[in-house]
Amino acid sequence: MVIKWTADLSVKNDGLDKEHQRWIEILNDFYQGLMAGKSKEKLEELVIAMLDYTKYHFSSEEKYMAFINYPGLDEHKTIHASYVERITEFHDKIKNGKLIVSLEVTNFLKTWLINHIKGTDMQYANYKK
């Protein structure tokens, strides 16, 4: 399940690539915590870290898209907001004991991230060319 950074994930922007790499590290930490049977509190911390970093990265990415006058910015913001809402729901459920952190959650986070970078983010990467 651990995600490896590969060249096909590059959006041709060093700053955003570094942010994507950090995001992958946080997700890998989350997965490794899950596999190591970390306590609920530790996993909650990892979800909070991912949520915080996600908000930071999305803000950075949206500023970049505005800078290059990317025409799909509004749609991209909507996709970002939906993802933040989903992670927030996971966090609330973990905090309230209504969600047992599982591979299903981790797989959702991984799949969304990879598909988002390779699909949605590549649209602005290719637009800039």
Nearest Cα to 73, choosing from 62, 83, 82?
Answer: 62
Nearest Cα to 116, choosing from 87, 79, 90, 75?
Answer: 79
| Confidence label for 38 from pLDDT (cuts 50, 70 and 90) | confident
Burial-class residue 93 by CB neighbours within 10 Å (0-12, 13-18, 19+): middle
State the pTM of this model: 0.85
- How many whole angstroms separate alpha carbon 115 and alpha carbon 93? 25
Domains and CATH numbers, the chain: 37-128 (1.20.120.50)
pLDDT on residue 27: 86
pLDDT in tens, 42-83: 778 888 888 999 999 999 999 999 999 999 999 999 999 999
pLDDT on residue 43: 75
Residue 7 has pLDDT above 70, yes or no: yes
- The set of residues, in sequence order, having a beta carbon less than 8 Å from that of 38 and lying 6+ positions away, is 46
Residue 24 has pLDDT above 80, yes or no: yes
pLDDT in tens, 80-119: 999 999 889 888 888 887 766 666 777 888 888 899 999 9
- How many whole angstroms separate alpha carbon 79 and alpha carbon 38? 31
